[in-house]
Amino acid sequence: MISLVFKSLAGRHYRKFRRKSQVLINRINSLETEYQSLTDEQLQAKTAELKQRHQDGESLDDLLPEAFATVKNGARRLCGNVVDVCGHEQKWEMVHFDVQLMGGIAMHRGYICEMATGEGKTLTATLPLYLNAISGKNCQLATVNDYLARRDSEWMGHLYNFLGLTCGCLQNGMDPTTRRAAYGSDITYGTASEFGFDYLRDNGMATRKEDQVQREHFFCIIDEADSILIDEARTPLIISGPSQEDRQMPFNELKPGIQQLARAQQRLCNELVSDAKKRIDAGDTSDETISKLFLVHEGAPKNKQFMRLMENPAIRKRFEKFDLEMNNDMNKTRRYHLKEELFFVIDEKQHQADLTEKGRNLLHPDEPDAFVLPDLPMMFMEIEANKELDDNGKREAKEAAQKKFEKASEEMHCISQLLRAYCLYEKDTEYVVQDGKVMIVDENTGRLMAGRRWSDGLHAAVEAKEGVKIEKETKTYASVTLQNYFRLYNKLSGMTGTAETEASEFHEIYRADVMVIPTHLPCQRSDINDVVYKSRRAKYNAVIKEVEAAHKKGQPVLVGTASVEASEVLSRMLKRAAIPHSVLNAKFHEQEAEIVSQAGRPGAVTIATNMAGRGTDIKLGEGVKEKGGLYVIGTERHESRRIDRQLRGRCARQGDPGSSKFFVSLEDDLMRLFANQGPLSRILEKSLSDEEELSHSTLNWSIENAQKKIEQRNYSIRKRRLQFDDVLNHQREIIYELRNGAIHSDNPSEIAFEMVEEEIVERLDTVVTPESSKGDADAGEAETFINWVNYHFPVGLKSEELDFSNTDELGKEIVRRIREAFEQRAGLEGEDELKRLARYVVIRSIDRLWQDHLTEMEELNRSVSLRSYGQKDPLNEYKSEAFVYFQEMMENLRNEICTGLFRTATNMQAFQQMLARLQKTATVQGPSDTDESTLAQAARAAQAGQPRPTARKAAPALPKVTIRREIPKIGRNETVKIRKNGEEREMKFKKAEPLLEHEGWELVQEAKR
């Protein structure tokens, strides 16, 4: 009874939307019928009319029926025309169906539309894009690859151009001028990554308005929304450049040891499984025998002999019982001692590999403490307490301790990453090697991810494993996640063939609901039940037989694989069976689309990754409908149900016949790692042979349950990553707003002086604290403040002329004098040049400090997870420390702008003239009988740590050019104390180093770490 109630409620909101939309659809069709009597010129004039009415106050919702009718009628008038699409002539035969009008309405209202493959999503998108482009703002469509962006922009561009709108397209490698022209169009097509990278270049790299290409983020439609907003969202977009630290990690030096370790583990596991098999054949299934299988499972889970043994139902059941017992807290000591018999332990689910004591001894037999990090704080304390060492001796001892710590931590990290590379990352599965480079294979699409690298040294470890050149580590210049980029848009919508299973994620992250649009004609696809085999070998043999049978009767077959390796194995098997076939190379999108589009010819056999050819229709050849249509065979269930649904959706478009069937083996990663083992063991007990296929409702439930587990895990990962990125995103918005202000401002010096004023106010607050009585300034703090101002600005402050009783007025007066000094430069360098100079100072300071901040935030993100062991929430820890880091960055930004305003000039001649004029002005304003200015004495005294000398007569001068100082070797995370002009600061050395090298600070002492 309850199930009937739930079924009656399911899809209720979809039906409600469809009923409401039908009223609009009827109105659109009625208007379109009227428009058929108009001339082409009259129809085209509708665009200008709608634009004017919108400017006069009519909303886009009010204009929707007329706009949609205009687009539909425009498509009708193009019918029969031959149009050029990517160099191929194509006949236009498209007019919007009612379901496409419904999809257009949904996308205009911000829904993610689920429309079946072949329902015309490309044409549907023209409706909301045209309507929203009437506003005069740039509207965008983001898709998955360059070929689809170009194809759709050229194809649908004929319709836009006919109606009087312009359409642009972004392609990888375009120059900025062409990109700006594409964004200048009413409608712009491009890949999601191109839009994201343009955002980063505009806001994090451009230094002039002319360098920025994007317009407002108004309205965007995401094509293949699930692929872009969910699958690709796990990888952030990063613009990087060469790192300042030109030092290679010792991967190649450590590689021989890891190779020896991997071989030793392989030999050990082979011996264990062989011994276990002999015992089992002799009828021994004791705990001692099964424990050997347990060790093989922990040390080499993909061992072929072990996987063959797991096909025996009795052994599998006995092993699962033993594994369950070992996971009990009562047996954790025994489990630990068992694992210590291995060299390392592999965790496939978490993608981790950990050394045991046996493995550590193999790598460093003579160094028992090789994998123990030195206690650096304790070592520093012992060095400080050593009375026999002088200051230089202590410094050298600390340097040696720091080097020892860095070497040990670096070596441990490299060993960990090399171990993962050898044990968990397989060639032709997770990556391929092309042209001497390691290329990551997208686990969801099977496509190569050019330019992408695994983080934290893992990519370099894989490069070392494969013997290719190890690329230098890079530094992040700008980064953003796709989630946070697309949340910039005022209105976001999408379209895809599979969205309903991820409806909760779309709503929670993007505030977009899913709307399922019905098909134009009833779906004729037959989804045959999955068949499950014991082994992968038996599964592939069954697939070949199925392909051969379909090929003989002339039915086209599309075989979907989950990896490059699987497609190559099937290709070799088909060659042995003398079956002609095509193997899709996913590197070239245009070739990919062409191959997939031909997959519907009679008798055609195409092997492709599960997501290949997405966005391309497979049209059936002559006589194929009578033979059952396209037959889609899946050789493995994917981690996500969406990918399986996408593969099924390759057939049976627009009412065509078709069928789909999945072949699964118990050796597939999904079944090994995530399927419920209990039901599988019970079903295996009833099987008789390897070649026998299993088909059972419990198996279907087990497979779907495994997919749900992974989907939930991946969603948790994406959500957690977004929570961390939201912290950085808030900081990014502040920095980009400040940076864009400097770029677009007619007077960027105002931004610089705002920062100067903030810095002076902050420093004045340290001179007169709220606790002190009015006008009671701390003498030492006042002297430090005066020295700091005189060192940074040529204003010649004197203590006797300053009234600290009113810090607000004093701050304004100091800023006024700084402004006057800066404005004097206009006559020497020109007003426009001075504006460019101020802009340069602000942008350069922001860029340098923001890039350093991104590096620090990456390190914080990696390290903060360890705090969960101390019962602390890593996210809260990250938020609190990120706030402190950002405060420090803003303080350094203000200080750097103060330093740069009078230390930068457009040319040396202008700098010298400015210096002479300021010196002359200062002399005229006040008598002087000394050759050396008070400011110069103050700067010199401050650097020497002495009180600022007083003089009756002063002439301010610009500070001297910063001198690069020799700095002793100090650990990056060691806390140091630095001083300049009487001001002292305490900070980590990695933050102090640029101040010591470039800004005249000097090292006072090394504080406690």
Known binding residues for ATP are 100, 118-122, 617
Looking only at the bridges linking them, the beta strands covering 524-527 and 657-665 are: parallel
Distance from C-alpha of 308 to C-alpha of 392, rounded to nearest angstrom:
66
Q: From the CA atom positions of the chain, what is the Rg in Å? A: 35
Task: Copy the structure tokens of residue 951.
Answer: 């003089």
Distance from C-alpha of 420 to C-alpha of 414, rounded to nearest angstrom:
10
Three-state secondary structure readout of 52-72? HHHHCCCCHHHHHHHHHHHHH
**Torsions phi, psi of 793, nearest 5?**
-130, 140
SS3 content of the chain, % helix, strand, coil (to 5): 55, 10, 30
SS3 554: coil
Distance from C-alpha of 21 to C-alpha of 14, rounded to nearest angstrom:
10
Q: Which one, of 88, 159, 147, lies nearest residue 123 by Cα?
A: 159
Task: Copy the structure tokens of residue 20.
Answer: 């409401």
Distance from C-alpha of 547 to C-alpha of 563, rounded to nearest angstrom:
19
Helix axes 807-823, 749-767, angle to 10 degrees: 140
The binding site comprises: 100, 118-122, 617
Q: Which one, of 587, 547, 542, lies nearest residue 564 by Cα?
A: 587
Q: Which one, of 339, 671, 268, 669, lies nearest residue 276 by Cα?
A: 268
User: To 5 degrees, how large is the angle CA 766–CA 770–CA 773?
Assistant: 105
Q: Which one, of 686, 666, 679, 683, lies nearest residue 310 by Cα?
A: 666
| DSSP E strand boundaries for 356-446 | 431-434, 437-441
**Torsions phi, psi of 355, nearest 5?**
-70, 145
Task: Copy the structure tokens of residue 692.
Answer: 């026998």
**Torsions phi, psi of 345, nearest 5?**
-120, 135
SS3 346: strand
Q: Which one, of 163, 159, 166, lies nearest residue 185 by Cα?
A: 166
Q: Give yes or no for a contact between 459 and 466, defined as CB atoms under 8 angstroms apart.
A: no
Q: In what order do the strands lie in the sheet with 112-114?
A: 167-169, 187-191, 139-143, 219-223, 491-496, 112-114, 514-516
Q: Give yes or no for a contact between 187 and 169, defined as CB atoms under 8 angstroms apart.
A: no
**CA separation, residue 2 to residues 7, 8, 10 (Å):** 9, 10, 12
Query: In a 10 Å sphere around its CB, with 0-12 CB exposed, 13-18 middle and 19+ buried, how is residue 849 labelled?
Result: buried
Task: Copy the structure tokens of residue 392.
Answer: 């230089």
Distance from C-alpha of 435 to C-alpha of 377, rounded to nearest angstrom:
47
**Torsions phi, psi of 724, nearest 5?**
-70, -40
Task: Copy the structure tokens of residue 66.
Answer: 């007329």
